Amino acid sequence: MSNSPVVLCDAVRSPFGKAGSLYTGVRADDIMVRTLRGLFERNPELDLTQIDDVAIAAATQVGDQGMNIGRSASLLAGVPASVPGYSVDRWCAGALTATTTLAGAIAMGAYDVAIAGGVEHMGNHPMGDLMDPNPRYLAEKLVDPDALAMGSTAERLHDKFPHLTKERADIYALNSQRKTAEAYAAGEIQRDLIPVAIRNPELGWSIATVDEPPRPGTTLEALAALKTPFRAGGRVTAGNAAGLNDGATAAILASEERARALGLPVKARMVSFAFAGVAPEIMGYGPVPATTKALEKARLNIGDIGLFEINEAFAIQVLSFLDHFGIADDDSRVNIHGGAIAVGHPLASSGIRLMLNLARGFELQPHVQYGLTTMCIGLGMGGTIIWENPHYLGKRG
């Protein structure tokens, strides 16, 4: 067993695109390869022969996201053939699960350095592409039909918590757009984006350098007027939910001892993690029990957490989490640079986006000791990782 904590050394991502728009004609594995190469290029201290394993996630593991993308993409990215790799699937929490699985191996002492990543090209592979749900789910009433439609599960959360209104969801969504625009203006987001070559059939080759989905001109009036596609007179819209997106993320994980020896940065220190299940019909509530378990494992309480990175699959999902823990909708500790409602949610990649945002938050706020990354997962699950700030200087005052 290793006595050295598991640390996040660095994390990067591609710019996120709208499904089938920015990355039309680009393979999913090529987005992943460029993201990996960008990670290696900005961490020249890492000898690629010293990587113990590579785990890459995708929610739809077919076509250009298949063929064990953990192995195939790492070979294309220049990782030596002596380094193994594997693929991960826990739907939206793929990259988060790649991280925790590798962290377990590092904590055990089996690995010293590993690479986690995730990719989703929802333009090439629409949500549910080639899925064949067993009819027993519905015939034996294991789940309600709503459980297989993520937008419908979000409507169910609104039903469960009627005080979490559409207006509150729209206000939350507007603030996500605002915070993302402010982070872009301050240069906080761009420095972790790896430029990716793209080819437009009409315009030819160019370089993607910024996220495509943000809508900085969004207004509350415009959000209020949007249709509710999952239910007549519903509350979930395209404006208060993440879109369908393409993109990739990657991270270096290591034991802190090996990271220091190699001269790698240490951006966050893992404290605990947990996954939990809930009724599939309210899958967005999964972060609540997952966070409760992770806090118990860490012997912390919610008041110890100084920064939250919560995946914004739907505004109602975030609001239900905040409501449970008694946190205000506009708490300044939450998603300080905005979230998926603005920048997008390419399913399996998003867990590492949360980590890189949290790492930047740690740098900006050295008075914060602990932060967490959490997300809901299809078919009724949640996943949470609690992290410690390596830059912590003690509480203010």
The residue whose two tokens read 């996120």 is 16
* Active-site residue, selected from the candidate residues 9, 92, 158, 337: 92
Q: Are 93 and 375 in contact (CB under 8 A)?
A: yes
The number of domains in the chain is: 1
- List the beta bridge partners of residue 253: 8, 114
Q: Which of 121, 125, 337, 345 is catalytic?
A: 345
Q: Could you tell me if residue 150 is inside a domain?
A: no
**pLDDT tens by residue, the chain, 397 residues:** 667 899 999 999 999 999 999 999 999 999 999 999 999 999 999 999 999 999 999 999 999 999 999 999 999 999 999 999 999 999 999 999 999 999 999 999 999 999 999 999 999 999 888 888 888 877 787 788 878 889 999 999 999 999 999 999 999 999 999 999 999 999 999 999 999 999 887 778 999 999 999 999 999 999 999 999 999 999 999 999 999 999 999 999 999 999 999 999 999 999 999 999 999 999 999 999 999 999 999 999 999 999 999 999 999 999 999 999 999 999 999 999 999 999 999 999 999 999 999 999 999 999 999 999 999 999 999 999 999 999 999 876 5
Domain assignment of residue 132, yes or no: no
Q: Is position 130 within any domain? A: no
The DSSP line for 244-278 is -EEEEEEEEEEEHHHHHHHT----EEEEEEEEEE-
Is 172 a domain residue?
Answer: no
Distances (CA, A) of 340 to 18, 135, 172: 12, 32, 12
Q: What is the 3-state secondary structure (H, E, C) of 284-320?
A: HHCHHHHHHHHHHHHCCCHHHEEEEEECCCEHHHHHH
Q: What is the CA radius of gyration of the chain?
A: 20
203 assigned to some structural domain? no
Q: Is residue 376 part of a domain?
A: yes
Choose, from 9, 125, 158, 376, the residue flagged as catalytic: 376
Residue 345 annotated as catalytic: yes
Domain extent for 285: 6-125+243-387
In a domain, 354, yes or no: yes
> Which CATH number goes with the domain that contains 316?
3.40.47.10
- Whether residue 175 is contained in a domain is answered as no
Task: List C-alpha distances in Å: 236 to 117, 159, 166, 239.
Answer: 30, 11, 7, 8
Does 92 qualify as catalytic in the annotation?
yes
